[in-house]
Structure 1
Amino acid sequence: MISLKKIFGKSSLALAAGLLLMGTPTVQAQDAVAGKVIFDANCAVCHSIDADVVGPALKNVHERRGDEWLMKFIQNSQELVQSGDKDAIEVFEKFNKMPMPAFKTLLSEDDIKNVIAFIKDESTKASVAAVEVPATDQAAVAEAAAPAEVAFLDLPPALLFTFGLAAVIILLTLLVLVLMFRLFIPMLGDSIYDEDFRTSFAGRVLFLLRGDATVVTGKAKDHIHSNHDFDGIQEYDNDLPPWWKALFYVTIVFAVAYMLHYHVFGTGALQTEEYELEMQEAALLAAKNADDPNAVTNYEVLTDAAALESGKSVYLTNCAACHGAEGQGTVGPNLTDEYWLHGGDVNAIFKTVKYGVPSKGMVPWQGKLTKDQMLEVSSYILSLQGTNPADAKEPQGEKM
């Protein structure tokens, strides 16, 4: 007979194993939740799950690289690059050689594992959400996107009447011309071959229609231009083609009219004036469009303590990962010296924050921060001038 002690012992082991198995998803979910908080605070500035930003998209990166590699790269990416790791070098060179901040001293191994758990969780969600559109739906979308074709007879009656009237006028004109030629040419008889008629406008048109191209090419002459020759080559005194001479005369008339219009009477705007007018028009249009990077802004630096404190909070949440908690510069430039890459007044900083500098890894913050938040963080950045934090990055840009 089996003792009660053995039964309870086995039951306890089974119960414990069952509880562990049941608790595993909950623990993983908790890791992902904790990882999201860490990711948003430290990684979201430069990374997205689905799209490349400053750094690469992270969807399924754990499958491509492995957890161990991710741990080392997050702890110190440059150490991995300098060790000759091919994957690390590939990522570094692909993304403009922008070094990723080393998180070895900022995040524990458990924190990094939580971030990796969050990436895995988000990658799974993204894969489930990427459901293919059925073929019938794709056809419907393509059909809806295709431009609508209108049959000629379905055009408005007024437009159809205009087309018909134009066709009738063209046909009548051609008919009249044919009748005139058939009536008058026989009446002229052999006189059409007289030199006077052939050189007239009507004669030129008539013979052009009959295949004589001298009205275009000019008439060849057998008169030698001079008595000298070059290795048996003789020069004939032929006229220039009439079409060439006509265009030459047109250019002379155009040049005189151009000079009078632009340089004598001053009735036309020269290039400098046109440029200034177009710039004025562009400035007016830019002023109406708040999202135009060329729009003129005239913000004043905020100096009250509440605005600067709010700007500091925005800075620490979104900017410190690349510029350092004290503005000393890490991946991004030092913000505490007098040197600036894209202008050092509050309006220039506001535009840099709003529109970013994607070619240099600075992401645009419009749509993520409000106008007030961008102005507050711009003012806070200016308040860091001259603070001289430890380990500040070397100056970059021009002195302002």
Structure 2
Amino acid sequence: MISLKNVFRKSSLALVAGLLLVSSPAVQAQDAVAGKAIFEGNCQTCHSIDADVVGPALKDVHKRRGDEWLVKFIKNSQELVQAGDKDAVAVYEKFNKIPMPAFGSSLSDEDVANVIAYIKAESDKPAVAVVAEPATPATDANAEAVVVEEEVAFMDLPPVLLFTFGLAAVIILLTILVLVMLFRIFVPMLGDSIYDEDFRESLAGRVLFLMRGDATLMTGVAKDHIHSDHDFDGIQEYDNDLPPWWKMMFYVTIVFGIGYMLHFHVFRTGALQEEEYEMEMQQAALFAAKNADDPNAVTNYEVLSDAAALESGKSIYTTNCAACHGPEGQGTVGPNLTDEYWLHGGDVNDIFKTVKFGVPAKGMVPWQGKLTKDQILEVSSYILSIQGTNPANAKEPQGEKM
């Protein structure tokens, strides 16, 4: 007869084993949930599951590298790079040599394992097909039609225009041919009279001899008259006219100068450079006001100083910025935010634009679309509030002193 004690013991073991098997997916799910919170607080700034950001996309990274490698890389990526690990070096080189912060001191082994569990769970999710909705025509009566200018090749112009251009070219060529024929017919008929002084001094004579190689029309006549008492060490000065082309240009500049003075300074019918600059700046401001995503748009935000706004800015900073700039703003991957040196300007408006539009070439991701305007202003104000706090292990100054 089987003892009741043995039956109870075997039943208990089976029950425990069954409970473990049933509960294991829930445990894994709980690990992924915890890993998501850690990922969003520490990794989301630089990584995405499906797309490259500052760092590589993490989808199926556990299949390509393995869990052991991921743990080492998360704890101290630079240690692997310096050790010559080919995968770590390849990632470091591909992503502009931006070092990943070492999380060995801030995350426990359990935290790292939870992050990897979250990456696995997200990688196993099926891709969601995005169906593009057909664009509906605008029904607003005030909607403006957008005219797109396109370059048109010359040969693609309408036939009427092509015929007009061709006809004009033919007329110009015929005119030149007629003038050349008249010149060749009538010049011989003039005979030696073309050499008379009166004819040579006339405009027609100068044009004629210019065509025959005499540049008197352009250079003037050399009189070879020596100035009296203008003999210095054997050097004599001739009283020749200035070249006609030079005098003509001089007269043109006088006429232009008088017209310029009357137009801009007497009648004031034209805008001076300073007025043109002001008008262009006003037009640029109107354009920037219509385009909120223009990084050159002029902003005039004021630094927030109330405690609630700064506390909110600190919370946003801790969640999104501390991974690259340090929990105290001392700088890690990103620059030190507590000194007087700035890479992209230290005014609240400069910081606002840097946070909003990012600096992708330097690894700073744009936060527009992820943070609201008010949140960006709050975190910008908080960054200015920690100026001069001199935290421990602060990164060396970068940029210009403000």
Q: Same fold (TM over 0.5)?
A: yes
Q: Which amino acid aligns with 1:85?
A: D
Please state if 1:90 is matched with 2:95: no
Q: Which residue of 1 aligns with 2:385?
A: 383
Alignment of 1:170-319 (within 5 A): 214-215=174-175, 265=263, 277-319=279-321
Task: For 1:340, give the aligned amino acid.
Answer: W
Mapped to 2, the partners of 1:291 and 1:46 lie a distance apart of 22
Aligned to 2:124: 124
Measured after TM superposition, the shift of residue 389 of structure 1 is: 0.9
1:138-179 deviations in whole A, cap 9, x for unaligned?
9xx8xx68x9xxxxxxxxxxxxxxxxxxxxxx9xxx9xxxxx
What's the secondary structure of 1:389's corresponding residue?
coil
Is contact 1:311-1:377 (8 Å) kept? yes
- Residue equivalent to 1:71: 71
Distance 1:358 1:392 in 2: 23
Deviates more, 1:350-359 or 1:269-278: 269-278
How has the CA–CA distance of structure 1 residues 338 and 14 changed in structure 2, closer, same or farther, with 3 Å as cutoff? same
1:299 partner amino acid: Y
Q: Give the Cα separation in 2 of the matches to 1:332 and 1:283.
A: 32
The answer to whether the 8 A contact 1:262-1:269 is kept is no
Could you say if the C-alpha distance between residues 367 and 214 of structure 1 is closer, same or farther in structure 2, counting changes exceeding 3 Å? Answer: closer
Query: What is the CA distance between 1:57 and its match in structure 2?
Result: 1.4
Measured after TM superposition, the shift of residue 374 of structure 1 is 1.8
2:51 corresponds to: 51
- Alpha carbons of 1:87 and 1:383: their partners in 2 closer, same or farther (altered >3 Å)? same
Letter in 1 for 2:350: A
Provide TM-score, normalisation by structure 1: 0.66
Instruction: Please list the CA deviations of residues 27-49 of structure 1 after superposition, one character each: whole Å capped at 9, or x if unmatched.
Output: 10010011111111111111111
C-alpha distance in structure 2 between counterparts of 1:86 and 1:273, whole Å: 61
Answer yes or no: is the 8 Å Cα contact 1:51–1:57 preserved in 2: yes
Partner residue, 2:25: 25
Once residues 397 and 93 of structure 2 are traced to their aligned partners in structure 1, the CA distance between those partners, rounded to angstroms, is 24
- Residues 284-332 of structure 1 show CA distances to partners (whole Å, capped at 9, x for unaligned) of 2213433322222222222222222222222112111111111111111
Cα 1:342/1:296, change in 2 over 3 Å: same
Counterpart CA distance in 2 for 1:86 and 1:351 is 37
How far has the Cα of 1:3 moved from its partner?
5.5
SS at match of 1:21: helix
What's the % identity of the aligned pairs? 72
| Distance of 1:15 and 1:373 partners within structure 2 | 52
Q: How far did residue 10 of structure 1 move?
A: 4.1
Amino acid in structure 2 at the alignment position of 1:101 = P
**Shift in CA distance, 318/131, structure 1 to aligned 2, threshold 3 Å:** closer
Distance 1:282 1:105, change over 3 A: same
State how far apart, in whole Å, the 2-side matches of 1:40 and 1:347 are: 27
Structure 1 residues 34 and 103: CA distance shift in structure 2, 3 A: same
Q: Secondary structure at the match of 2:316?
A: helix
Partner of 2:203: none
Q: What residue is the counterpart of 1:355 in the other structure?
A: 357
- Note the alpha carbon deviations across 1:164-208, whole angstroms, 9 max, x for none: xxxxxx9xxx9xxxxxxxxxxxxxxxxxxxxxxxxxxxxxx9xx7
For structure 2, the residue ranges without an aligned partner over 5 or more in a row are: 138-159, 186-210, 213-248
Unaligned ranges ≥5, structure 1: 148-169, 175-204, 224-236, 239-251
The corresponding residue for 2:338 is: 336
Structure 1 residue 258: Cα displacement: 9.7
1-structure distance, mates of 2:68, 2:257: 77
1:265: how far off? Answer: 4.1
CA distance in 1, matches of 2:322, 2:394: 13
* Partner in structure 2 of residue 37 of structure 1: 37
Change beyond 3 A, Cα 1:300–1:273? closer
Change in CA separation of 1:269 and 1:119 when aligned onto 2, cut-off 3 Å: same
Contact 1:262 1:270 in 2 (8 A): no
- How far 1:367 moved relative to its partner? 2.2
Mean Cα deviation higher: 9-18 or 92-101: 9-18
Query: Which structure has more helix as a fraction of its residues?
Result: 1
Deviation at 1:68, TM superposition (A): 0.7
C-alpha distance in 2 between matches for 1:363 and 1:132: 25
Question: Which of 354, 365, 371 is the matching residue for 2:373?
Answer: 371
8 A Cα contact 1:341 1:397, kept in partner: yes
Give 1:152's aligned residue: none
Change (3 A) 1:214 1:24: same
The residue aligned with 2:80 is 80
**1:148-187 correspondence to structure 2 within 5 Å:** none
TM-score calculated relative to the size of structure 2: 0.66
The one-letter code sitting in structure 2 at the alignment partner of 1:362 is M
> Counterpart of 1:114?
114
Change (3 A) 1:260 1:282: farther
Q: CA distance change for structure 1 residues 22 and 258 in 2, over 3 Å: closer, same or farther?
A: farther
Q: After the TM superposition, which of the residue ranges 259-268 and 384-393 deviates more from structure 2?
A: 259-268
Q: Which residue of 2 aligns with 1:396?
A: 398
> Which string of whole-angstrom CA distances, capped at 9 and with x for unpartnered residues, describes residues 55-111 of structure 1?
111111111111111100000000011010111111111111111110001111111
Shift of 1:280: 2.6
